[in-house]
Chains A and B, each alone.
Chain A
Amino acid sequence: MASSAYSDFDVIAQEERVRDEIAASSELVSDPLPTSVLLDEYKENKDAFRDKLKDVTSKYDSFRRVRGDGNCFYRAFGFALLQQILHRGTEEQARKLYQQAVASKALLVAQGYTEYTIEDFYDSYVEVIALATGFPKPPAAYDYSTGIPVPVQQDANSEPPKQLPWPLTAQERALRESNLLAIFRDDPVASAVVYYLRLLTAGHFKTNAEFFQGFIEDGLTVSEFCAREVEVMARECEQVHIVALSAALDVPVRVVYTDSSDSTSQATEINFQEEGTAAPTVSLLYRPGHYDILYAR
């Protein structure tokens, strides 16, 4: 920093401007669009990339764009997971996902995270998971109604939260989906969910450090790798992150890879945690450097 003519204040102001520009030009999670839009978008391309997109459109009829801000994998995964469980999940999957979410904070604390520093992220995550799995919204830890947070006394004798009769009615699902979409478009809360998914990813890396060490380059330890690449926002993810997160949640993920290499005209599909039991498969479209959400025909 010494030789730089720019101070922290300049850098932060510049970063805020860039973020605002990106925010103004793209939604965090778009409405669903027909996959044919992608073909129009790349109509100038005559290479294998377009062939692969054609392949995608034959199997998937719609997709949602997710903002390309370095968090797109986590954001796409998070929203797609909630939608899958809400619309297609079994009662057992929904209960598993919810119970796992509630138990996750203690697991992270056991991994060395300080509880109060992850509390806010955890609360937001459990809130969206509860919405998608038919559980009531968990009681808030703090009351913010006066502007000053006051801890809420939890009633020790209260009943454990009850899941709504599953499957939810179509009306209930539609309502919950629109709430989820609103949350995912509301930056601060959406960021908290995204960040908690990063923590879950990092927690899984650390719990299975011996296994993951072999995938980590540059002589970094698993902890260093997490500090540098996972536990900060806007760091892009690689396949190893997908391996970790899908395993951490036991959620099957299918990534449809498209690029312009001409070895094949088919999009390559890779399944992560194929036998995962906590949700139906989450499908994502990969274009170099970016993930979006895909919906099968």
Chain B
Amino acid sequence: MSAKALASELTEYQKHPVDGFDVSLVDDSNLYDWRIGIFGPPKTPYAGGYFKARVNFPKDYPYSPPSIRFETELWHPNIFKTGELCISILHPPGDDPMSGERPEERWNPTQNVRTILLSVISLLNEPNTSSPANIDASVMFMKNLTEYRRIVSAQVRASQEIARQEGVAIPTSVEEYTQRSRQQMERTKQDEEDAVDFENNYYDDDDDDDDGFDDGFDDYVVEDDDSALMDTDADEEENNNKTAQTQTQMAKPILLDSSDAPLKQTRSAALDLASKLSSVTHVDSRGDA
């Protein structure tokens, strides 16, 4: 079954690409070892970058989660220096040190590569400093954002060189970034599902425990109070609908810009991106699942 599930997922992503990702097998005879190319999302410090990672699936996928290891060096609080990615969606819920994360952001067999990739994009935008894998990067992100961004930019440039050598074209504008999936959307009707899934997950990052990093951080956490408030609402309101929740998540700050103006730009770019992708108005209530 895991082979069957993986084969159909792989075909699915090649037919309906996930924005910002290239998906392929490392070796055509092994379905359990994937290579993904991640294009840095526009208007973030990772924009223009091309980051390669390996996804390893266990034999009992999807009952156990895959693991992800970056092959391109990437300075980020949630990526170990060895390249392993530490993100809540790759862990089943349980009483472990990654507490404070909501169970719906954890692994369960209805998650899939698409939901993982969307969480990865969210994590690039908004590191989770409450459970860092790279403590140095995490501290730098909080204390010295300028230096943090300088390191990331250097890595982006290095990755561009590799992309050039490999003949990979990196999308730079939002238009290009979303082009492949928009083309698909025009072609097929079946995309309704995918767009819904996108809407459901793009902002559904693993970082709802914002409250953990107030110190030295207030400069960037513009709406920290607001989002904390909304989280509480979301917890209390058993049947709050997805629209409200999506707004909650959209209202959350994208942290990587240090002044208000670029922050607004980033956020509007993200909203723009979302509206371009989800022409569908279907509301999915799985968010409170």
Contact = CB atoms under 8 A, between A and B. Distances in A.
Interface of A: 1-4, 7-9, 12, 15-16, 19, 111-118, 120-121, 124, 142, 144, 147-149, 187-189, 191-192, 195, 199, 206, 209, 221-224, 226-228, 231-233
B110 A113 contact: yes
Nearest to A209: B238
> What secondary structure prevails in chain A residues at the interface with B?
helix
A112 B90 contact: no
Contacts of A223: 104, 238, 288-289
Contact of B97 (A4, A191, A222, A224): A4
Contact of B98 (A1, A12, A117, A221): A1
A149 B4 contact: yes
Given A113-B286, A116-B193, A222-B238, A144 B107 contact: no
B82 A12 contact: no
Contacts of A15: 64
B284 interface: yes
B185 to A, nearest CB: 16
A120 B60 contact: no
Contact of B109 (A189, A221, A233): A233
A114 B200 contact: yes
B1 A1 contact: no
A3 B97 contact: yes
B11 A148 contact: yes
Contacts of A192: 1
23 contacts: A2-B133, A2-B135, A7-B82, A8-B67, A8-B91, A9-B69, A9-B84, A12-B58, A112-B285, A112-B288, A113-B110, A114-B110, A114-B200, A120-B1, A144-B4, A188-B1, A191-B63, A195-B63, A223-B104, A227-B289, A228-B103, A231-B108, A233-B109
B193 A195 contact: no
B197 interface: yes
Nearest to A116: B193
B135 A117 contact: no
A12 to B, nearest CB: 6
A191 B84 CA distance: 28
Contacts of B84: 7-9
A147 to B, nearest CB: 7
B80 interface: yes
B68 to A, nearest CB: 8
A226 B2 CA distance: 24
A188 B106 contact: no
B8 interface: yes
Contacts of B63: 191, 195, 233
B244 to A, nearest CB: 14
A209 B285 CA distance: 15
Nearest to B85: A8
A195 B109 contact: yes
A19 to B, nearest CB: 7
> What secondary structure prevails in chain B residues at the interface with A?
loop
Contact of A2 (B59, B67, B132, B197): B132
Which of A8, A149, A199, A233 has the most B CB atoms < 10 Å from its CB?
Answer: A8
Given A1-B86, A7-B80, A223-B289, A117 B110 contact: yes
Which 4 A-B residue pairings sit nearest by Cβ, starting from the closest? Answer: A188-B1, A227-B103, A112-B285, A117-B110
Interface string B262-289: 0000000000000000000000111111
A232 B93 contact: yes
Contact of A191 (B60, B103, B135, B289): B60
Contacts of B90: 8
B112 to A, nearest CB: 6
Interface string B79-120: 010101010001111000110001110111111100000000
Given A8-B84, A117-B112, A19 B60 contact: yes
Contacts of B125: none
A125 B67 CA distance: 28
B106 A227 contact: yes
A191 B289 CA distance: 22
A9 B67 CA distance: 7
B5 interface: yes
Interface string B1-34: 1101101100100000000000000000000000
Nearest to B90: A8
A70 to B, nearest CB: 11
Nearest to A195: B109
B196 interface: yes
Interface string B46-83: 00000000001011100110010100000000001010
B131 interface: yes
A206 B289 CA distance: 9
A224 B102 contact: yes
Contacts of A3: 97
